[in-house]
Amino acid sequence: MKEQVNMTTADDLILGLDKSTDEVAWDLYRKAIRFGTWDPASIDLTRDKKDFAELDEDLKGYLIHFCTGFLDAEENVALKFCPWIMLGSSTEQQAFLSTQLLEEFKHTQFFMRYFQEVFGRERISGVKNVVQQKLDDRVKTMLAALELGEEEREAALVEGLTHYQGVIEGVQAMTGYEVFEAVYGSKGLLPGLAEGFARIKEDEGRHVGFGLRMLKLLARNPLHAKRIDALLNEYLPHILIRYDQPIIVDGKEYPTPPEVRGRERLTKMYQRRYRDIFGKQASV
């Protein structure tokens, strides 16, 4: 309980603008040091193994597809995160962002372990996520900006924060936690996965909290506001189909459980993030 009080949770993401960015970054860095200490190797997965074996085939298929999406995403963001740290403009900002790098690898480790110990198999291939694929180009743009002037670096960081913290973590991942809860967690299934998601969500609260707070501040500059809005609009069609793709596992197609309601949840989350940054409704 003590920890809860001190943690930034995913539901309370927007940090005030009263403190300086460096103060906020340092507070979050200290929070990560003190509270971000969970170990992906020590979550008990015994019940999950039993629950998974007893799940009906459709829910098994959906879970493998769903967790592949998470493993792919966590691994991809971990591998690509260094330029965000390098573009941080102070020791405090880079210190906080360095905790995020380690945490993304911990999230990756948790899902790797889940595949090995609960599913007893490798992840599947072919789970689509266009927004994730676009990180390849994003990384190149951000690395190139390191050689440019302060304005260009800030512009590259604004787009990087919108793409990563705003869209991937702030909209897609946060919607994923809701989907898990609706389909499995609320039925008391897979307690180890529920605990993993709870721990990951706490980490993501710091990541998204810092990103959104930066974007809210940077959006006061009309040029940056335009950049953020343009990127969100460009990605919107790709964002909204994230949980609506055909569920194909080992060549067999499975139905999407009715509780998923992907488009509806993603639209709501997108609007929430837009409001966090601009203080007004997005036109979707």
Binding footprint of Fe ion on the chain (CB under 5 A): 74, 104, 107, 169, 204, 207
CB of 194: closest distance to Fe ion in angstroms? 16
Tokens found for residue 279: 């203080």
> With respect to Fe ion, which residue has the nearer C-beta, 92 or 104?
104
CB of 100: closest distance to Fe ion in angstroms? 6
> With respect to Fe ion, which residue has the nearer C-beta, 65 or 107?
107
Report d(CA 245, CA 96) in Å as an integer.
35
> With respect to Fe ion, which residue has the nearer C-beta, 48 or 204?
204
> With respect to Fe ion, which residue has the nearer C-beta, 107 or 138?
107
> With respect to Fe ion, which residue has the nearer C-beta, 51 or 104?
104
Report d(CA 173, CA 218) in Å as an integer.
23
Selection from 42, 39, 47 nearest residue 190 by Cα: 47
CB of 8: closest distance to Fe ion in angstroms? 12
Say if strands 252-254 and 247-249 run parallel, antiparallel, or are unpaired.
antiparallel
CB of 221: closest distance to Fe ion in angstroms? 25
Counting other chains too, the contacts that 252-257 makes at CB distance below 8 Å and 24 or more residues apart are 252/61, 254/57, 254/58, 254/61, 254/62, 254/65, 255/58, 255/62, 256/62, 257/58, 257/59, 257/62, 257/183
CB of 178: closest distance to Fe ion in angstroms? 16
Residue with the two structure tokens 């927004």: 131
